[in-house]
Structure 1
Amino acid sequence: MPKYLRFLFFFFAFIIAIFFIDSCADKKAKGNDTVTFYVDETVMPIMEDQVSVFHSQRPEKVNLVSTTEGAILDLLKKDSTQLVVMSRTLTKGEERIFADKGITPRITQIAIDGIALIANKKAKDSVIDLQDVIDFMNGKPVASIKGLVFDNANSSTIDVLSKKASVAKVDNKNIFALKSNNDVIKYISENDGYIGVIGVNWMTQPMPDMLNSTTNVKVLAVKNVKSEPNSSEYYKPSQSNLAEGLYPLSRKIYMLNYEGAVGLGMGFATFVAGDVGQRIVLKSGLAPVRLALREVKVRKDVENK
């Protein structure tokens, strides 16, 4: 074969090889430009805001699936997901499936949230003792509470209050669960005497179609039990009270990553924990973990105009 033909043969073979490698790289990249997070429904509004801004700045796609804490734990146990947003971290027993694989979790705290206790706007009281809620969870009659209404039987809100009350199983017939936080808000707006238990985020960022219902409910100020700090005052789940740890039912929100490798999941968590993401948290009414500091210039002399 003449030299120039051999040259052309190897040249085109080289071009085809480069094209093939680039094609494979593109396919691999495209396979990694979408990620799915399973999110505790009680904090879904803030995560939707985060994704909206993230998509406006980045080409990658982040999908959110709203579900209960119980469902998230089941998915993790089955190794059906590695990326979740929850109001707590996993116990050593719960994360054993990943530890056995040598996977070290990447845990990022992104906000301070709270569990809101809401009542009908007609209710006489605007405050409630956490001890009364605990007593009711334990089956004791409380004159001011007809019933407790949760968002879901597998919700993180039930888990938190059950642990507060040291209750393994809730048997009180006047404690029941609906299907969502919005269902609770609607029920409380139509029924006086009941206490709704929802994520604060659903009151700070109500859905447009829920505005009529939210105007007919009020968020109660909560007094902590005597054995805990700050038990002499009633505190609402305001941004400052959440940040300072004064609200008795405050909790931390985490993004848990069990992928075992750095990828888009970690990239999104870094965005949420960064300056832009924390400003979104601040705007939502929840308490950010990190606040951006602003420089203030102090002038010695002020010009009189």
Structure 2
Amino acid sequence: MKNKAIWVSISLLSLVGFQSCKEKVNTQNDTVNSGTIKFVADESCQPIVDEEAYVFEKLNPKAKPDILYRTENSALRLLLNDSVRLAILTRELNASEIKILTDRTLPPVSHRFAIDAIALIVNQASKDTLMTVSEIKKMLNGQTKTDINIVFDNPNSSLVRYLKEFSGNKDFKLKNIYAVKTNKEVIKYISQHPQAIGITGFSWLNDPDADYADAVKKVKIVAVAVKDENSKDAPNQYFKPSQTTLALKQYPLIRSLYIINSTGKMGLGAGFAYFVLGERGQRIILRSGILPDSIPQREINIKHSY
């Protein structure tokens, strides 16, 4: 955690160096703990971002972050078109994207702040509770004969991009694979259809909001094994996503969450980034059920009584 704090501090200080040469950036009257800022977040990250923003605002009553939740493609467009200068994504920017921002003399500062899992869910009535990585890839590529529907969120989402990279498939054109609109809709669909498999972010299944909490109770998470991939660590074991299996790298379907700051100033964007990456922000992630990038340490004082 100390090393993380040092790197965050260096990143924040580097923003000060750019501040003097960016008049446009200084037009917003905000500080690290006050004012307003509009930023975009991948909509699949909404549960954890909402929690972080809620606590941040409670601790900083004068701060008003305005969060736009968008698909990954839309979020990237907003960032690269200079509509926003702070983004939360499930991947780092590539070289060409970094160049676009750097050419504006607003080089992005990127940090991973959490590790999430891609969860496969089925209806409580389903008997499909175990799958291997190889079986999942075959299922997504249409190499298995099945009448089970495979459902995920928006076709422009980061989840779909992840699944395409994972399966080596450029596009999902099979009739039994289709998208709804949101992660909530995926969970609700699976809660009502026993002959279906849903793919969603793990964070949506932990402490759900009231509008879909009943649906979460009607689904169960599929355990996944990598035994067909010749795993040396766990060749014959199936794992469900949890903080433990993510930390031990036992659950295979994982993705990192990043906060990308291209504000070029020591303003509210930098303040929110520092909060998420700091001890309090990391503890919020720890309580959420997914894995923080830096696990907060606990100091225990043992007193001897004589």
TM-score, normalised by the number of residues in structure 2: 0.84
CA contact (8 A) 1:77 1:94 kept: yes
Percent identity of paired positions between Structure 1 and Structure 2: 36
Residue 30 of structure 1 deviates from its aligned partner by 5.6
Q: Go from structure 1 to structure 2 and tell me whether the alpha carbon gap of 1:142 and 1:230 turns closer, same or farther (over 3 Å shift).
A: farther
From 276, 285, 300, the equivalent of 1:281 is 285
Which digits, 9 at most, give the CA deviation of each residue in 1:199-234, with x for residues without a partner? 111001311121211111001111125155645221
**Higher relative contact order (CA closer than 8 Å, sequence separation 6+):** 2
Which residues in structure 2 correspond to 1:166-205 (within 5 Å)?
166-205=168-207
CA contact (8 A) 1:104 1:260 kept: yes
Q: Go from structure 1 to structure 2 and tell me whether the alpha carbon gap of 1:258 and 1:147 turns closer, same or farther (over 3 Å shift).
A: same
Which digits, 9 at most, give the CA deviation of each residue in 1:127-176, with x for residues without a partner? 21121121122121244x71210111111111111101111111111110
> Could you say what the CA RMSD is over the residues aligned between the two structures, in angstroms?
2.0
CA contact (8 A) 2:30 2:267 kept: no
Give the match's secondary structure for 1:154: coil
CA contact (8 A) 2:234 2:250 kept: no
Matched, 1:40 2:42: yes
CA contact (8 A) 1:243 1:288 kept: no
CA contact (8 A) 1:40 1:69 kept: yes
Aligned counterparts of 2:143 and 2:291: Cα–Cα separation in 1: 34
Q: Go from structure 1 to structure 2 and tell me whether the alpha carbon gap of 1:237 and 1:28 turns closer, same or farther (over 3 Å shift).
A: closer
Structure 1 match to 2:101: 98
Which residues in structure 2 correspond to 1:286-301 (within 5 Å)?
286-299=290-303
Matched, 1:64 2:64: no
Aligned counterparts of 1:171 and 1:28: Cα–Cα separation in 2: 45
Structure 2 match to 1:247: 251
Matched, 1:271 2:279: no
Q: Go from structure 1 to structure 2 and tell me whether the alpha carbon gap of 1:205 and 1:40 turns closer, same or farther (over 3 Å shift).
A: farther
**Matched letter for residue 259 of structure 1:** T
CA contact (8 A) 1:132 1:142 kept: no
Structure 1 match to 2:141: 138
CA contact (8 A) 2:246 2:254 kept: yes
Give the match's secondary structure for 2:29: helix
Residue 44 of structure 1 deviates from its aligned partner by 0.4
Which digits, 9 at most, give the CA deviation of each residue in 1:7-62, with x for residues without a partner? xxxxxxxxxxxxxxxxxxxx963697111221111110111111111111112111
Give the match's secondary structure for 1:192: coil
Q: Aligned pair count?
A: 275
Give the match's secondary structure for 1:110: strand
Range that drifts further, 240-249 or 271-280: 240-249
Give the match's secondary structure for 2:137: helix
Give the match's secondary structure for 1:93: helix
**Matched letter for residue 234 of structure 1:** Y
Aligned counterparts of 2:128 and 2:288: Cα–Cα separation in 1: 27
TM-score, normalised by the number of residues in structure 1: 0.84
Structure 1 match to 2:76: 73
Matched, 1:123 2:143: no
Structure 2 gaps, min length 5: 1-26
CA contact (8 A) 2:110 2:261 kept: yes
Structure 1 match to 2:55: 53
From 221, 228, 241, the equivalent of 1:237 is 241
Q: Go from structure 1 to structure 2 and tell me whether the alpha carbon gap of 1:228 and 1:83 turns closer, same or farther (over 3 Å shift).
A: farther
Aligned counterparts of 1:256 and 1:62: Cα–Cα separation in 2: 15
CA contact (8 A) 1:150 1:198 kept: yes
**Matched letter for residue 245 of structure 1:** K
From 217, 221, 238, the equivalent of 2:219 is 217
Which digits, 9 at most, give the CA deviation of each residue in 1:177-198, with x for residues without a partner? 0011110001001111211011
Structure showing greater radius of gyration is: 1
Structure 1 gaps, min length 5: 1-26
